[in-house]
Structures are given as structure tokens and as C-alpha cells.
Amino acid sequence: MPPSSFRKSMSRLLKQQKRWEKGLTRMARASRAVIAFQADTLAAFSRPVPPPRLTEITGFGTNPGGLKMFAYVPPALPRHAPLVVVLHGCRQNAEVYERGAGWTHLARERGFAVLYAEQRRANNPNVCFNWFRPSNVTRDRGEAGSIRQMITRMVALHKLDRRRIFITGLSAGGAMTAAMLAAYPELFAGAGIIAGLPFGAARDVSRALDAMAEPPQRTAREWGDLVRKATDKPLPKRLPAVSIWHGTEDRTVAFANAEALAAQWLDVHGLPPEGGRTEKVDGHQRTVWTDMRGEPRVSLYRIEGMDHGTPLKAGTGPRAREIAGDYMLDAGISSTRHLADAWGLKKPTLAAVLQPGR
């Protein structure tokens, strides 16, 4: 072989070797990247998922009830997003209730805002909402007035959909939810009352304790009249849909209060008690009353064997969105997700995400 041909062959071999070396280097880098990605993924799934942080908001109005306001707004909130108002129970605060119920996790997944009203110990030694005091449940007064101001602030600040405002609460928060529906029936599209009491069940502490053990004996018409007389404004044509949740073994607020709540809102909606349809949902009994168009207007969930608390479908792993605890009870059914589904709070469309409301 001539010397020139040998040099050319060696040159080609060296170039080919360099190409192989570069290819091997790229493959090694890719392998390391895959291994790192797998490690990060495994680590992410092994870490607990903390709930999105609630932000305290001040200066939302005159705050006649002296409450605190907390909120969560997911990134890139869709245009005209809904709002869910959440009221904690006694011996709880916004953060504790959120940790169990997981409303902010769901808000991040489905694109809505969450508002938590929080009681102060100065107002009630057990940090219960004062649902039994007329001065706190009258329209635009006391705690009801404070919650209304919080809602107004959230709607204006984030350009939320005024037609899709929902409210839910546990125990004293459930009773306050019923009071908010009576004081502002035009404001809410739907409500979830969990282990609560009907509006007007008591007017002071002594009668509140009596009502928790056994609600006052009233006809459905009398319960309904309490709502109709709660405001000097006529009831709106489109009344909020009411979902009632209560454990059959509740030793704090008797289950009879759930039945009184159903009677109250069936009368307000003008629906016959015998018109309900009963079915099983996640192993528990649900009775639903619908309007002329077949839309659910009142529903009653009997959570079999559950004591006083919010029914959850609690997870046990680090990725759990709902966590059982005091008054946050694993009943195999998620009141949070069932309420969100009933209210039409679904994952936002791409078009909605691309047009943020803020």
C-alpha cells in the first residue's frame, strides 16, 4: 500500500474512532440523565405532598364579626373561576381543616379559588362560629357580615364568577353555612352542610346546646319560614342547592338535625318530602330531591356509623390529599370531591387556562 493511501486509511479510522467516542459520551450522559430523572421521580413520590399554603388577607372591609380571612388562589387562575368558601368547626382553624379536607389540592387541580373564614378565640373560647347569636347571623351584621365582605373582596380581587360561589362548613361552620344561605340566598349557587344545624335552631348558648342534642320540634313550614323571614329581600328564583352530610352515630350534633335541615330546605324549595330518590354512594345512603328539570336541589347523605366530623376518603401514603384527624374522619367517602363534582367544579379547559382572570 502506498504511503499516501495508508495515511488516508489511518485518518478515516481516527475520525471514526472520535465519532464512536462522542456517541458513547452522549449515551453515557443520557443514561445518567435517565437515572437522575428516575431517582428524582422516586424521591418525589416518596415525599409527602404539603397542601398549598393559605395566605392571610387583611383590610377586606369593616369586619363587623372580627374574623380572620385566608385564601388560596392557584397559579394561572382561569377566567371567571368559581369560589368555594370553607368554614371550619369548633377547636379547629383554617389550616387544620384544610389539612384534612384538601380543598386547596382540588382547587389547584380544577382551577377555582378557596376562601377560609377563621374564628378568633376572643369571639368564642372554643373558636366556634357563633351561629346561634342573632347579632352574628343577621344580614350584613356580625360574623355573617364579615364573611360577606370576604367574598366581595375575593370576587373583586380575582374577577371570579359571581354566579358560581359555593359554601361549606363543619359543625358550627355547618350551622353558619346554613345561616349564610338564609341571610344571602341570592349569593350562593350551592352549599354543603356537614354535621350542622338548621337555621334558627337556637338564639343563645343554652338553647344551642339543647338543639345539638335534639332540634326544636317544628313543622317543615315553620323551619322554612325562618329562612324566608331572615332577610327583607324576596327569595331569588334560583335558590342554592343544599347538600347535607351527617354521621348516623354523631354524639355531638344529633342526626335529627340533618333531618330538620332537609325539611327546612325542602320547604324553601317547595319540594315534597316523599319525592326523594334514595341510592347508595360509596357504601352510604344518599337521598336526592330534584326540581321539575330533574336537577338536584336538596340531598341528604347518611354516613353510616360515623361520629362527629367531616367524612373523608383519607389516604395513607405520602401523596394523600385528604388526611384523617380530629373531626376529620375516614368514612370511605370524600365529601370534598363529591361536593366539587356536584357543583360542576371540573378541570379547566385549555382555553380557560390560556386566558387567566388576573
Catalytic residue numbers?
A: 171
Long-range interactions of 210-213: CB distance < 8 A, separation 24+: 211/132, 211/257, 212/252, 212/253, 212/254, 212/257, 213/254
* DSSP run (H or E) holding 9: helix 3-46
Q: Give me the amino acid identity at 226.
A: L
DSSP string, 113-169: EEEEEE--TTT-TT----TT-HHHHSTTSHHHHHHHHHHHHHHHHHT--TT-EEEEE
Q: φ, ψ for residue 170 (rounded to 5)?
A: -110, 135
Q: What is the amino acid identity at position 265?
A: W
Residue 45's alpha-carbon distances to 50, 313, 318, in angstroms, are 12, 20, 7
Q: Which grid cell is 312?
A: 373523608
Can you give the length of the chain in residues?
Answer: 358
Tell me the sheet residues that pair with 170: 194
For residues 281 and 305, what is the distance between their CA atoms, to the nearest angstrom? 15
Q: Give the whole-angstrom CA distance, residue 94 versus residue 108.
A: 17
Tell me how far apart the alpha carbons of residues 13 and 7 are, in angstroms, rounded to a whole number: 10
The dihedral built from the CA positions of residue 316, 317, 321 and 325, taken in this order, carries a sign that is positive
| 336 neighbors 51 (Cβ within 8 angstroms) | no
Three cell numbers written together for 116: 377560609
Grid cell, residue 336, equals: 370534598
